[in-house]
Amino acid sequence: MNRSILIIIFLFHLFAQATAAELDYIWPTDASQLFTSSFAESRGNRFHAGVDVKTWGMTGFPIYAIRDGNISRILVSPFGYGRALYLTLDTGEIVVYGHLDKFSDDIAAYVKSEQKKNNSYDVQLYPDSARFPVKQGDVIALSGDSGVGYPHLHFEMRDAASNPINPLLKGYKVFDAIAPRITKILLQPLDALSSVDGDCKPKLFWPTAVGTNQYEMGPAIIVSGRIGFGVDTFDQMDGVDNSFGTFRNELFIDDQLLFAAQYEKFSYNLNNHFNLDRDYRQRAFGNGYIYNLFRDFGNKLWFYSSREVYAGVADFVKSGGEGSLAGEIVEIPPGVSPLVGGAHTFKISVQDFWGNRSTVSGRLVVDGEQQPAPPALPADTIYGPVLPTLLVADSVQAPPRDIDMQVQFYDRYIRIQLSANIPISGMPLVSGWLCSGKTYSVPLVARSNSYIGAWPLSGCAQGPLPLSITYVTAGDTLEQSEWIDFTTVLRGQRKTVATEDGLCKVEFTESSLFKDLFVRTEVSPPVSGPYDLVGNFYRILPHDVALNQGAVISLVYPPDDSLPGKLGIYIKAGDSMRFVDNDRKSAERLISARVSAFGTFALVRDVEPPIIFSLSPAEGAHLSTATPQLRSTFKDELSGIAGEASRLLRLDGKKVIAEYDPEAMAIFYTPEDSLAKGEHRVEIILQDRCGNSARKMNKFFID
């Protein structure tokens, strides 16, 4: 341990001694009072449920009971928290200590006894409340690096209902004078009648630093309709280089607080709602974890200043709302805040737990909702009476591809972009029928040689959606038909969507979705490569909308397939294929997998056994120690090795209770008792999820 670390630990220990008497809850370790992760920051598709305390890349620091209580749960696993203790306090609250190296002697003896009883390394134990009482300050474990991640202490607090709470709320004092940094701002139109700078797609902005912890936007942003704001921000802390989440984020319009989120507590039952708190679409396209500054559909988290759907969404309409089609074309949720006409200012404030704050300010100009000139359509349209028109009775059927149409699906609308391949006069007209039976013409905005607009989507929408594109070229009025194919799945609805070849189906249940979903499927042939593909690729869209409890994808394998047990469903990840699952239903010739997100799936056959890299002691080794470590390293390229039963380490023909390190791909065990002199055998047996097995055995000698 180097001198600087010793000095920091010594100073911290003095600080802890000075403050422990003042606190009802003492700090859990004297390794440091520095963090490597904060409460409620991102962990893939979930929140981080505690804080991670820095242990300087080392193990073995004492871990303390933060107040009186009893050990109520003990977890030992190669994954997640690794070795973990759950301490129920005299208040009813629960403390979780994760990634431990060793338990205290009495707890360790109990765990070892239960592991032997269950013949398993992985155990989850719930001792009686009287078995392991502890007093504040008792050493209950040593810090480690078990489970996933580098050496650190995961320190988590839960209320009596087992909801994670921010531990800093308990009065701990941590020195931090660094304010969060703001890197990007997101403005996103939320329906077909809304836009940012004339376009209905979300737009990212990069602010400029103009002073200490202050940022500004550039020119005024032109907005119309319902707009949701977002902020990409991260915090830092004195003494470490790590990046953290923020504690409180606020949105102000015209200096009035419109929305606030404060990260104090959440429910594990709502942990996957993380994908509604952060913008899932932006993350799917590689733009990082952006905090939403509004409450989205389905979001039931407790962080926010309002419980209403779309709280924090600003509704920018022309003065007095003249001519607004909102309410007739799009549904306006109750939490939307109307802001009428003219110019506005906005400010976003982000702060850490200690009140270090940064702000970004910008200007907005309201453009109102984009609406087309009244087209010549039947008199019962929303536009009223028929007016002079470019549509004529003897319209000529246009040759294909005079105008290319590209579509992008968003949660509540389809963005349409038209590109003309021939000279056309004026603005083209895109029209179709709404659920009500009325004809609707899409408001278009000219962009160079393209035209952009949005078609509204709601739960009643059904594909394929027929649209008509009418345009004038060389004096002729032409009409081009387009079809947009999708299947609507309503939130709370049980439904199955199948691909056109009938060999892939997606099953939704009542709990699958946060919001109504507009599903598209694409089928493409397999390509040559390193994988043994069986059948086609199936692309399921949208891939940029978060699912709640997910869906089940099933793929049909051929009737003459001789090795269906070797098949699994894989998802495309760049140039690779990643195993998802292989639940087989032989009678229906189905391989199924539950998925939490959509993408491109295929059946892949895995006939390759796991690869064993090493096994020690080595073959023929003569050892002087009677308690040698048994160790093997290995990997599996495709389906992977599942649970403990699929990786066995044996000594002289008997299974030993071996520890597995998934990051090092190693399994190891040290005998408790001395081995007898003479010959012994060490053996590793592995099996992947498709039943492919590998084994290796070495003989060694104790001299």
Where residue 321 falls among pLDDT bands split at 50, 70, 90? low
What was the pLDDT predicted at 230? 99
How many angstroms separate the CA atoms of 683 and 191, rounded? 62
| pLDDT reading at 645 higher than 50 | yes
Question: Both 147 and 193 in a single domain?
Answer: no
Residue 475 domain flag: yes
Burial class of residue 171, CB neighbours in 10 A (0-12, 13-18, 19+): exposed
CA nearest neighbour of 523 among 543, 542, 497, 504: 504
| pLDDT reading at 353 higher than 90 | yes
Q: Kindly report which listed range (86-95, 108-117, 336-345, 556-565) carries the lowest average pLDDT score.
A: 336-345
Q: Kindly report which listed range (66-75, 119-128, 456-465) carries the lowest average pLDDT score.
A: 456-465
Residues 481-516: pLDDT tens digits? 999 999 999 999 999 999 999 999 999 999 999 999
Range of the domain at 682: 611-702
Residue 127 domain flag: yes
- What's the mean per-residue pLDDT of the chain? 92
Residues 109-156: pLDDT tens digits? 999 999 999 999 999 999 999 999 999 999 999 999 999 999 999 999
Question: Both 634 and 524 in a single domain?
Answer: no
How many angstroms separate the CA atoms of 13 and 412, rounded? 55
CATH at residue 592? 2.60.220.30
Question: Both 212 and 312 in a single domain?
Answer: yes
Residue 371 domain flag: no
Question: Both 287 and 359 in a single domain?
Answer: yes
What was the pLDDT predicted at 70? 99
| pLDDT reading at 628 higher than 80 | yes
What was the pLDDT predicted at 393? 32
CA nearest neighbour of 364 among 251, 261, 233: 251
* Of 11 and 225, more confident: 225
- Over residues 177-183, mean pLDDT: 98
Cβ atoms 702, 621 nearer than 8 A: no
Where residue 399 falls among pLDDT bands split at 50, 70, 90? low
- State the DSSP H helix or E strand holding residue 697, giving kind and residue range, or none if neither: strand 693-702
Where residue 394 falls among pLDDT bands split at 50, 70, 90? very low
Last residue of a domain, one of 170, 201, 222: 170
- Over residues 474-478, mean pLDDT: 93
pTM of the model: 0.91
CA nearest neighbour of 555 among 567, 563, 566, 543: 567
Residue 375 domain flag: no
Residue 176 domain flag: no
What was the pLDDT predicted at 23? 64
- Over residues 581-609, mean pLDDT: 98
Which residues, 6 or more positions from 389, have their beta carbon under 8 angstroms from its beta carbon? 375, 376, 377
Residue 324 domain flag: yes
**Alpha helical stretches, state H, 58-189:** 105-118
Cβ atoms 134, 71 nearer than 8 A: yes
What was the pLDDT predicted at 340? 81
Where residue 320 falls among pLDDT bands split at 50, 70, 90? low
Question: Both 257 and 337 in a single domain?
Answer: yes
Where residue 313 falls among pLDDT bands split at 50, 70, 90? very high
What was the pLDDT predicted at 477? 93
Where residue 14 falls among pLDDT bands split at 50, 70, 90? very low
| pLDDT reading at 392 higher than 60 | no
Residue 93 domain flag: yes
CATH at residue 100? 2.70.70.10
Question: Both 446 and 326 in a single domain?
Answer: no
Q: Kindly report which listed range (80-94, 360-374, 525-539) carries the lowest average pLDDT score.
A: 360-374
What was the pLDDT predicted at 449? 78
| pLDDT reading at 370 higher than 60 | no
Question: Both 467 and 495 in a single domain?
Answer: no
CATH at residue 623? 2.60.40.1220
| pLDDT reading at 452 higher than 80 | yes
Question: Both 162 and 193 in a single domain?
Answer: no
What was the pLDDT predicted at 325? 63
Where residue 387 falls among pLDDT bands split at 50, 70, 90? very low
Residue 390 domain flag: no
- Over residues 255-271, mean pLDDT: 98
- Over residues 318-346, mean pLDDT: 79
| pLDDT reading at 523 higher than 70 | yes
Supply angle C-alpha 306, 311, 316, rounded to 5.
145
- Over residues 628-636, mean pLDDT: 98
CATH at residue 461? 2.60.40.1930
- Over residues 148-167, mean pLDDT: 98
Question: Both 598 and 565 in a single domain?
Answer: yes
The gap from C-alpha 297 to its chain's centroid, in whole angstroms, comes to 16
What was the pLDDT predicted at 111? 99
What was the pLDDT predicted at 324? 58
CA nearest neighbour of 52 among 175, 149, 192, 163: 149
Question: Both 400 and 339 in a single domain?
Answer: no
Last residue of a domain, one of 551, 578, 605: 605
Which residues, 6 or more positions from 646, have their beta carbon under 8 angstroms from its beta carbon? 686, 687, 688, 689
What was the pLDDT predicted at 401? 76
| pLDDT reading at 398 higher than 80 | no
The gap from C-alpha 628 to its chain's centroid, in whole angstroms, comes to 43
- Over residues 660-678, mean pLDDT: 97
How many angstroms separate the CA atoms of 296 and 119, rounded? 47
- The count of structural domains within the chain is 5
Question: Both 231 and 212 in a single domain?
Answer: yes
Question: Both 147 and 186 in a single domain?
Answer: no
Where residue 368 falls among pLDDT bands split at 50, 70, 90? low
Last residue of a domain, one of 366, 383, 409: 366
CA nearest neighbour of 482 among 545, 425, 426, 419: 419
